[in-house]
Amino acid sequence: MSDFTATIAAPGRRQIHIRRGRLTCVSGPDAGTSWVVDRDVTVIGSLADSGVTLRDTTVSRRHAEVVRMKDGVVLRDCGSTNGTFVGDVRVREVFLTPETRFRVGKTHLVFTPADEVIEITPSESERLDRMVGRSVAMREVFGIFERVAPTDLTVLVTGETGTGKELAARAVHNLSKRKRNAFRVFDCGAAPETLIESELFGHEKGSFTGAVQNREGVFEAASGGTIFLDEIGELPLDLQPKLLRVLEQREVRRVGSGRVRPVDVRVVAATNRDLREEVKAGRFREDLYYRLAVVEVKLPALRERLVDLGLLVEHLLRRASHNPGVVGLSNEVLDLFEAYHWPGNVRELNNVIERAIPFTDGTRITLEALPEALKHPDGRRSPTRGAAGGLLSDAKHLRDIPLKDAKEKLVDAFERDYLVELLERNDGNVSKAAREADMDRKSITRLLKKHGIR
C-alpha cells in the first residue's frame, strides 16, 4: 500500500487511510470557497476545467498544481506569469505542511489536511455490479469498492489470473460519477512492445512506418471516463516513466507530436504480479507503483472463497447465452468442484460451465459433461479417453450440434488438456512451456487466458 493510502489491520478491524487535503480561499474574488484535493494532481488556474478554478484575473490559465508525492503533498508553480508565493518567497516547488498559506496571483489559499479513515466492513450485498459473492472476503472487497468508487482515487487491483480484475474495474467505473462516459481497456501484456506507446498515447501521421493518419490513444479516448490498465506489471521498463508523467500531469503527448493534450481520466490498474517484489528486482519503478497503488485491493482466489461456488454457478448459468435450461450442479459435481484447486479461478469455472452445458442432459450438470482434465486433475487418464477422445466417446452429445460447433468443442477440449499437461511438465513456467511447444510466449499466454488456466 502506498504512502497516500494505507490499509491498517487490527484485531477484528481493518481500515483504509485515505490521504486527502482541502484548499480554502481566504482572500480574492473566491474568498470563502474551498475544494477537496483527492486527485494525484489538482490544477489551480483560471481555466474552467481546472480542479481549482479561480476568477482572479492575475491568475494564469494553468497557474500551479498540487501534487501528491510519495513523501507528501507538493505545491508546484506551472510557469505562471505572476508567480506562486509562500510568504514573500516566490517558489517553484515546495512541500505543503498543515495550514500552509500561499498566494497565486492576488489570491491567498490555505492548505489543510483532510485525511479520511474508512472502516472496512463487509457489504450487506452479495452482488456488486456484475460481481457476486456471499463470502466475507468478497463482501469486504465490495465494501471497499462501494466507498472508493465514487471518488477519483487511482485503484490497483491485484490477484491471480481469472479472479475477476476487469469486472472489478468495471464495477468501480459503473459506481462512479464517470459511469456515463467511456470505459477503455488496455492490456499491457498483449500489445506488441513497439506499439504500446502509440496505443496508449496516440501518434501523428508519418511518425513511424505504418502511421498513415493521426490517431488518438486510449488515454484520449477515455477522457472524461475510466481507463483500465490490465497486466500493468508487463509494461516495459522504458515506458514506465512516460506513463508516470501522464498520471502526474494528466496530459499526453502523441508519438511524433510536440503538443500536449490534457486528459481527465480515472485510472484503475491490475496485475497478477507482486509489484513490491518487482520493484525490489528493478523491473518496476517504485514511483509508478506508489502512483498506481493509491488504493490497493486484492481479489481472493476461488479456492479461498469456495462458499461462493453455488452462487457463482447460478450466476454463470444465467449469463450463458446458449443455456437451454441448466440450473445447477449434481451433488457429485459440486463435491468435485469443492475439492478442485481452480488454478484459473472464476474464469476457469466459467469456461468449465460453458463447455459442460451442451453435454448436459436435464437440468443439472453431471460428471459425464465435464472435461477430462477436471475429472483427473492429477494428470492421469483412462487409456481410452484423452482430450478429444473423451468428447468422441460422448458422441451422442455431438449429434445435435452442427459440424463446425462440434469441431470447435473438440479443438477447445484438446487445447485445454494439452496446455494443462504442458504446464504440469514445466512446473508452471510459461516460458519453458512455450519453448517446449515451439510457441511464442505471448501466444501461449493468450491461450492460457482463453481457457482460464492461468
Q: How confident is the prediction for the chain on average, in pLDDT?
A: 85
Which pTM does this prediction carry? 0.75
What is the residue-level pLDDT of the chain in tens, covering all 454 positions? 334 454 443 334 567 777 778 999 999 999 999 998 877 788 999 988 788 999 999 999 999 999 887 678 899 999 999 999 999 999 999 999 999 999 999 999 999 988 777 777 899 999 999 999 999 999 999 999 998 999 888 999 999 988 999 999 999 999 999 999 999 999 988 788 888 989 999 888 877 877 778 888 999 999 999 999 999 998 999 999 999 989 888 889 998 888 888 899 999 999 988 999 999 999 999 989 988 988 899 999 999 999 999 999 999 999 988 888 999 999 999 999 999 989 889 988 998 998 899 889 899 999 989 877 677 655 433 333 344 444 444 444 555 667 777 777 777 777 877 887 787 777 677 777 887 887 877 788 888 888 777 6
What is the structure's pLDDT at 9?
Answer: 39
**What residue type is assigned to position 259 of the chain?**
R
DSSP 63-74: -EEEEEETTEEE
Other Cβ atoms closer than 10 A to 391: 23
Instruction: State how far the Cα of 87 lies from the Cα of 73, in Å rounded to an integer.
Output: 18
For 243-281, the pLDDT digits (tens) are: 998 988 888 999 888 888 889 999 999 998 899 999 999
- Which residues on neighbouring strands pair with residue 127, listed in sequence order? 132
Q: Is the C-alpha dihedral spanning 314, 320, 325, 331 positive or negative?
A: negative
- Which residues on neighbouring strands pair with residue 183, listed in sequence order? 226
Alpha helices in 68-164 (DSSP H): 136-148
For 357-412, the pLDDT digits (tens) are: 988 989 999 998 987 767 765 543 333 334 444 444 444 455 566 777 777 777 77
